[in-house]
Amino acid sequence: MSADTSPAIELRGASKIFKTPSGGLHTAVRDLDLTVGRGEFVAVVGPTGCGKSTTLTLVSGLEEPTEGDVLVAGQPVAGVGDKVGFVFQQDATFPWRTVLSNVMAGPRFRGVPKAEAKEKARAWLARVGLAAFEDRYPHQLSGGQRKRVALAATFVNDPEILLMDEPFSALDVQTRALMSDELLELWEGTGASVVFVTHDLEESIALADKVVVMTAGPATVKQVFDIDLPRPRKVESVRLEPRFIEIYREIWESLGEEVRITRERGAAHVA
């Protein structure tokens, strides 16, 4: 298979086993098969703590799989590649850098000359609506604004693969909807392939072309659903459409069971 026709991301029988501090072994991901096509927006949903985030760290190259293969553009992942962008759940902006300097960080790390990096960073800051804030420090911004900085800092590197680990989960509901719309707008221009991890089923349907339901931990793929809602979408309005609700019911039947299993385990732990 040539590199041009191979899917953007491919996981084949990938497993990840961590050593716990107490010396035991914890299987976060087990025998996972997942394919993400080029330019495809895939949302991964599953119960909390099932190992969704681990899947992303495997694709990013931050962690190696214990077993199985992880391929990006047909090539096995070895270390952090330059095609990948990652938006983290927690704040990962550098607090000692100004907004502009934060967005410049990626290009500067990759050896882009300062003037060019500044120009690119300014362009992306303008696209996320923070042009007037370039001299501020992160602590002077709101949570939503910091997330915008993180998005600009990620997109400025022109990633072919965009990994997002519950990026909006710390935001309030209105800000979250707004950010989701902005994400779709930003993404539509780039042709990047996206893996968006969330535990919010509504969010995943509103955003994605394909929703992957994970089992209760250790994570593996349970079922994959194609979302046939037309684009461009507006997150707030699309969730009121009858087709959206239909899809929601269908997926929830599958996801709800895993959530129940996780809950029962939690209860057993407490008891």
Partner 1 sequence: MSPDVLSTPVVETAKTSDRAQTRAQAARRRKAIVYTVRVLLLVAVLGLWEVLSRAGAIDPFNFSMPSKIWDQIWTWMTHGTALGSLGEQIWYTLYEALLGWVIGVAAGVVFGIALGRIAFLADVLGPYIKVLNSIPRIVLAPIFVIWFGLGASSKVASAVVLVFFPVFFNAFQGAREVDRNLVANARILGASDRRVTLQVVIPSATSWIFTSLHVSFGFALIGAIVGEYIGATKGIGLLVAQSQGTFNAAGVYAAMVILAVVALAAEGLLTFAERRIFRWKPSDSDS
* CA atoms of 45 and 202, how far apart (whole Å): 10
Minimum CB separation from partner 1 for residue 60, in Å? Answer: 6
Does 21 contact partner 1 by CB under 8 A? no
CA triple 3-36-43, angle to 5 deg: 155
Is the CB of residue 41 less than 8 Å from the CB of residue 83? no
Does 157 contact partner 1 by CB under 8 A? yes
Residue 141 CA, distance from chain mean position: 23
Nearer to partner 1, 7 or 61 (CB): 61
Q: Give alpha helix (H) positions in the chain.
A: 52-60, 99-109, 114-127, 143-155, 173-188, 201-207, 235-238, 242-270
* Binding footprint of partner 1, residue count (CB under 8 A): 26
Nearer to partner 1, 161 or 183 (CB): 161
Nearer to partner 1, 30 or 127 (CB): 127
Backbone angles phi and psi of 61, in degrees to 5: 90, 0
Among 26, 78, 80, 245, binds partner 1 (CB under 8 A): 80
Is the CB of residue 95 less than 8 Å from the CB of residue 104? no
Backbone angles phi and psi of 177, in degrees to 5: -60, -40
Spatial CA neighbour of 150 closest among 184, 100, 104, 103: 103
Nearer to partner 1, 153 or 211 (CB): 153
Convert 28-54 to b/e letters by CB count within 10 Å (16 or more is b).
bbbbbebbbebebbbbbbbbeebbbbb
Build a one-symbol-per-residue string for 22-51: x at contacts with partner 1 by CB under 8 A, - elsewhere. ------------------------------
- Per CB under 8 A, the segment of 39-47, 77-85, 188-196, 261-269 that binds partner 1 is 77-85
Does 84 contact partner 1 by CB under 8 A? yes
- Per CB under 8 A, the segment of 34-42, 96-104, 119-127, 192-200 that binds partner 1 is 96-104
Does 90 contact partner 1 by CB under 8 A? yes
Does 158 contact partner 1 by CB under 8 A? no
Among 47, 65, 106, 217, binds partner 1 (CB under 8 A): 106
Nearer to partner 1, 169 or 223 (CB): 169
* CA atoms of 238 and 266, how far apart (whole Å): 34
Binding site for partner 1 (CB under 8 A): 60, 62, 80, 82, 84-86, 88, 90-92, 94-98, 105-106, 109-110, 137-140, 153, 157
